[in-house]
Amino acid sequence: MNAPLPAGTEPLVASGQSHPHESAAAQIAGAATYIDDIPELRGTLYAAPVMSKVAHGKLLGVDTQAALALPGVRAVLLAADVPGSKVLAAFAGDEPVLAQDSVQHVGQVIALVVADSVMLARRAARLVAPRIEPLPAILDVREALRAQSFVLPPVTVRRGDAGQALARAPHTLQGTLEVGGQEHFYLEGQVAYAQPLEQNQWLIHSSTQHPGEVQHWVAHALGLDNHAVTVQCRRMGGGFGGKETQAGHLAVWAALAAHKLQRPVKLRLDRDDDFLITGKRHPFSFEYRVGFDDSGRLCGLQLQMLAHCGFSADLSGPVADRAIFHADNAYFLQDVEITSYRCKLNTQSHTAFRGFGGPQGMIVTEAILGNIARHLGLDPLAVRQRNLYSDESERNTTHYGMQVEGNILQPLITRLADTARYPQRREAIVGWNQNSKVLKRGIALTPVKFGISFTATLFNQAGALVHVYLDGSVMVNHGGTEMGQGLHTKVAQIVADELGVPLHRVRLSASDTSKVPNASATAASAGTDLNGRAAQFAARHVRDNLAAFVSGIDGVGAGAVQFAAGQVITPKATRSFNAVVALAYANRIQLWSDGFYRTPKIHYDKTTLTGRPFYYFAYGAACTEVAIDTLTGESRVLRVDILHDVGRSINPAIDIGQIEGGFVQGMGWLTSEELVWNDQGLLTTHAPSTYKIPTAGDVPTHFKVDLWPEANPEDNVFGSKAVGEPPFMLAISVFEALREAVAQARGDGLAVQLNAPATAERVLWALHT
């Protein structure tokens, strides 16, 4: 990994270097502004939610008297106070702004209390008394399946004839797998600050991954045109998908209160309330039947996916679709039938989370391959390699009809197995386990093939603005949002290189719907691909303007004008970039421009789930060694080796940070982060005391990350590849290593029934069943 560069030693080219995050110094000093740090306007009020304590019921009325009697309480808002549409502007139109005639989950927001202080609003909210007549609640996904309780219709994807392939297969296995959800646990909770402006216009400060959607939702709820609402976001303190749609709720609620009282209103959720109100990663339940030959090669697969969606659709459709797309992970599925049910439950409405259904789709196939290997007495890695996509024409097309191009799976896995000494360590672990009665070890090497692009083709577009000021400094604005992932840093590097100026001369401004309209969410790992390219195009327009101007002065072709190291160079003269800018302005040359980019090649039929939904694939692999305590079920990750494909890295330090963070977050999903709802529909793990994310102590001492050295073969910005989501799924190696440790501890050759997360209780249960 390249070390960050000391001040004053910037290279001639910004991209490809490990520059510090553009806000790092401010964040360390506590000077980086988040929504709750914005100086509050005089007269600001504070809102707090009133939540349902019933999972399903008729809402008969709401008693607000006790709350309104408290001095300093200004109002209690109900559904009747919504001036525009009482249904959120989500695509399915199935979620009310505030509960109206019924409640659908514990934590659903029924009303908003507005008061002079945060604590007063929260105290008053507890005094509001909804009258609810309980109704039967569906809390079990198989009960939802029996009742045909769905948020969206089921989807089936087929290739070949899985039934016949299974009948012919030399071996078959069947089984189930339960995979839990995951709380986003962003450091900065959900927050919005709504400010009324003149002429019924509104400024919304929102911690959101999708300012354009927040704009649309707020305008829809207030009964206004979109141009009456401006949404700004300089940065988020983490998002992970949890602020893609669900930040919109906070913004709408704050705007409703501000509209009613004509005062600025801030709404910041308490962490416990955030847990109860907002959706999580979708839990999934799987049933499968698989056929295979003596070498472990798959012959046929029938797979049923039950997505636990919660009470409304939210993003469950595309999440469940991506789970189907990624059920192959890195493997060719010859005869396959996948049926996906999008089940409606009386819980929070689950939403986007890093990987967006991809992790759930991949993990079941990895578990199946691990079971096949143990059934046949083979090395699981050998079975995985036997099933990889290859360049053979009959084994290089996905089950949804996309050709796998630029496939580096085999050489990447081979290199990692060699550098991590997988064969030698696997043999050593077998010997170690024979001599250790209580502690047992396991090792696994699993690959990742992750498709990059929004599966909804229309979202694969981006815009940007580049302004060059008279002193030669540069301001960039684009439609993406910064949530700590380094998007703004990478965009600044790209623009600096396009204009040939030092990186410190480029600055990024807050995401703002009044500057770049209709921007897509910063999601699907496509933030740099889309916004970086749009900003590059905008900078290129400015550079071309300057090149044409300078070529006219020097009497040379515009192609002969070079921009590098803060200089503009022609065969006849060298001038500073600043001097050229000043001269161009004096000659009325345009020094700003917009840029627009749309991803090429992609197409997708959402009715059949076929086509080319992804521009390219990102690849990677991880080799993980674990230990389990057979008396307690406790586990520990001992060593991790990763080889990951980011193409030609724009910023190696940021990319490696994303890989490390993604892996650890995935490790938490599969080991310690357990969501538990009781039989009344209450999420009982709604605080750090009961919901356990990984800590620094859970990270192994040996945690090695290497980058694959080849550029993206597709024409992507700087030859890079997306890095936000793919590393998350590298943590499936932890789960498979745990299953291998359990199998070696048992020594009976039977299938390991271990569900995720693999808590100590579940590991102990798997050891003895």
Write out 263-306 in H/E/C secondary structure: CCEEEECCHHHHHHHCCCECCEEEEEEEEECCCCCEEEEEEEEE
Q: Can you say whether residue 341 is alpha, beta or left, with left for phi > 0 and alpha for psi between -120 and 50 degrees?
A: beta
Q: State pTM to two decimals.
A: 0.97
Mean pLDDT of 61-88: 98
Within 10 angstroms of residue 695's Cβ, the number of other Cβ atoms is 10
Alpha-carbon torsion (697, 698, 703, 708), positive or negative: negative
DSSP letters for 220-261: HHHT--GGGEEEEES--S--TTTTTSTHHHHHHHHHHHHHHH
390, 332 in Cβ contact below 8 A? yes
Element (H, E) at 458: none
* Residue 303 predicted with pLDDT over 90: yes
* Residue 263 predicted with pLDDT over 80: yes
Which residues on neighbouring strands pair with residue 47, listed in sequence order? 114
70, 115 in Cβ contact below 8 A? yes
> What is the longest distance spanned by two Cα atoms in the chain?
84
* Residue 635 predicted with pLDDT over 50: yes
How large a percentage of the chain has pLDDT more than 90? 96
Residue 1's pLDDT is: 40
Query: Per residue in 171-192, pLDDT tens?
Result: 999 999 999 999 999 999 999 9
* Residue 5 predicted with pLDDT over 50: no
Say how many CA atoms lie within 13 Å of 421 toward its Cβ.
6
Cα–Cα distance for residue pair 345/405, rounded to 1 Å: 39
Calculate the CA 162 to chain-centre distance. 32
Query: Per residue in 382-428, pLDDT tens?
Result: 999 999 999 887 899 999 999 999 999 999 999 999 999 999 999 99
Structure tokens at 672: 């310690």
Beta strands in 52-149 (DSSP E): 57-63, 73-77, 102-103, 109-115, 129-134
Residue 11's pLDDT is: 57
* Residue 7 predicted with pLDDT over 70: no
Residue 606's pLDDT is: 85
310, 279 in Cβ contact below 8 A? yes
* Residue 153 predicted with pLDDT over 90: yes
* Residue 2 predicted with pLDDT over 50: no
Residue 394's pLDDT is: 85
Say how many CA atoms lie within 13 Å of 223 toward its Cβ.
7
Cα–Cα distance for residue pair 171/374, rounded to 1 Å: 13
Which one, of 661, 666, 686, 663, lies nearest residue 676 by Cα?
686
By CB atoms closer than 10 A (0-12, 13-18, 19+), residue 327 is buried
Q: How confident is the model at residue 9 (pLDDT cuts 50, 70, 90)?
A: very low
- Nearby residues of 129 by Cβ (< 8 Å), 6 or more positions away: 62, 63, 66
Cα–Cα distance for residue pair 578/557, rounded to 1 Å: 21
Cα–Cα distance for residue pair 246/209, rounded to 1 Å: 9
* Residue 289 predicted with pLDDT over 70: yes
Phi then psi dihedrals of residue 733, to 5 deg: -60, -30
Which residues on neighbouring strands pair with residue 290, listed in sequence order? 173, 301
Q: Which residues are catalytic?
A: 725
Let me know the angle formed at the C-alpha of 86 by 54 and 518, rounded to the nearest 5 degrees: 115
Residue-averaged pLDDT of the chain: 97
Query: Per residue in 199-244, pLDDT tens?
Result: 999 999 999 999 999 999 999 999 999 999 999 999 999 999 999 9
Query: Per residue in 307-362, pLDDT tens?
Result: 999 999 999 999 999 999 999 999 999 999 999 999 999 999 999 999 999 999 99
SS3 182: strand
Query: Per residue in 552-583, pLDDT tens?
Result: 999 999 999 999 999 999 999 999 999 999 99
Within 10 angstroms of residue 187's Cβ, the number of other Cβ atoms is 9
Residue 8's pLDDT is: 45
345, 280 in Cβ contact below 8 A? no
- Nearby residues of 412 by Cβ (< 8 Å), 6 or more positions away: 447, 619, 620, 621, 643, 645, 708
